[in-house]
A and B are shown apart, each in its own frame.
Chain A
Amino acid sequence: MNSVHDMGGMHGLGPIAPETDEPVFHLAWETRVLALTLAVGAWGKWNIDASRHQRELIAGRDYLAMSYYEKWLTGLIELIVKTGLASRSEIATGRPVKGASRLVPPLNAARVASVLAAGGSFTRDVAAPARFVAGDEVRARTINPAGHTRLPRYVRGRRGVVERDHGVHVFPDSNAHGAGECPQRLYGVRFAARELWGETSAKRDTVHLDLWDAYLEPV
């Protein structure tokens, strides 16, 4: 979706202002939001693409105003309600409805280290012939899906060169919407900065994106 989260190439969003000796977390509640997001995620009621898309659905003016973990909290609450893990009224009161049975969390403390260290591969062992090989010229398609996509606006319609075949990866555009993983080839594609931004960019500078087969067309 063409919302403000897709901000590559925008001007006017302020100075970067890195903080010296920045702590991992600034506030105690941020630590809980990170942990809750990972722990509730262990129920497998949604995937990482749905989780990203939920944050993209935050209205533009709020998205730009909220702190990072406030966006995570907002996304988490919406996913919990959507998937029926808890109701909005339970979240408002902080109390389960009367008579609700107590579940057993899938992620307990003993498993945390191994679960985080294992991660979860996003490649899939299915046949998906490579349409492109390194060196092929491609064009990022001009698409404007209203749902989730990982094809930023700033490369749509632009020509690049395939640099690398990453193998077959889960496709976020379908996976985010519960429409299946639709695994397909993922390519590392190099774009000349001037192709994206014009003559003011340095001649040799490049921008590299990882793009799924469905995002690309041959030139």
Chain B
Amino acid sequence: MTHAEHDHHHHGDEGQEPPSDLALRVKALESLLVEKGLVDAAALDAIIETYEHKVGPRDGAKVVALAWTDAAYRQRLLADATAAIAELGFGGRQGEHMIAVENTPSVHNLVVCTLCSCYPWPVLGLPPVWYKSAPYRSRAVIDPRGVLAEFGLAVGEDVEIRVWDSTAEVRYLVLPERPEGIEHLDAEALAALVTRDSMIGVAKVPLPSAPV
């Protein structure tokens, strides 16, 4: 293939440099839209600031840690996740209709959007590239065990895997299992352990690497 074709097929999903014309096209579009008064440049910065620095998986981790330490909150989360998540001040765009699904020793939940990239923004932020990419979208529903193995997670034959394909405006948050042996930690310390991947369902919450 030519050099140009090579670039076209490999940028982006692997995080490599895009063709420079893409950056230029975006710049030209932004300057046109600002000049026409279709967008406000400061609003663009505020949107980026929100998703780059304010909204993200730390928020979902707080929800999970509270559910682990407060049985009544866990019940509310499983009964009406939208309302329970709003109790912590999280909600809004791409999280208007939330459902929490709980992992147990006999059930493992995995979230995907086979048709596009639906993801619970208010609790997890913007999705990682792999979540939005063809390999995960195509295989999560047909081969969840193979997909989990690719993330280094072996799920026993006795465990039921439930895959949630986000086909509507309902968004799913996995409530992962709390690791054994950290019962003494408070919600804040527990939240620090909860990973984004465990709330998508492609990982378990890891035990702390050092004693806490």
Closest to B111 in A: A208
Count: A-B pairs, CB below 8 Å: 284
Asked whether, in the complex, the Cβ of A28 is within 8 Å of the Cβ of B170, the reply is no
**Interface-located stretch among B41-49, B66-74, B173-181, B183-191:** B41-49
Chain B positions 60 through 91: 1 when the CB is less than 8 Å from some CB of chain A, otherwise 0: 00000000000000000000000000000001
Separation of A73 and B29 alpha carbons in the complex (Å) = 9
Contact B37 A116 (CB under 8 A): no
Question: Chain A interface residue count: which class?
Answer: 35 or more
A29/B18 in contact, CB under 8 A = yes
The prevalent SS among residues of B at the interface is mixed
CB distance from A36 to the nearest CB of B (A): 6
A16, A77, A96: residue with the most chain B Cβ atoms closer than 10 Å: A16
A201 to B: closest C-beta gap in Å: 8
Interface residue from A18, A32, A34, A166 paired with B168 (Cβ < 8 Å) = A166
Q: A161 to B205, alpha carbons, bound, how many Å?
A: 31
- In the complex, the chain B residue whose C-beta lies closest to that of A107 is B43
Residue B129, interface by CB 8 Å: yes
B116 touches A210 (CB 8 A): no
Known interface pairs A19-B15, A86-B38, A119-B95; 13 further A-B residue pairs with C-beta atoms within 8 A, sorted by A's residue number:
A8-B138, A13-B134, A18-B130, A24-B52, A26-B12, A27-B23, A32-B26, A80-B33, A94-B27, A104-B37, A115-B93, A118-B92, A154-B142
Cβ proximity bits B119-143 to A, threshold 8 Å, 1 near / 0 not:
0001001101110111111111110
- Give Cα distance in the complex from A9 to B143, angstroms: 8
Say yes or no: is A57 at the interface (Cβ < 8 Å to chain B).
Answer: no
- Contact present for A122 and B169 (CB under 8 Å): yes
B47 → A minimal CB distance (Å): 4
Q: Are B30 and A36 in contact (CB under 8 A)?
A: yes
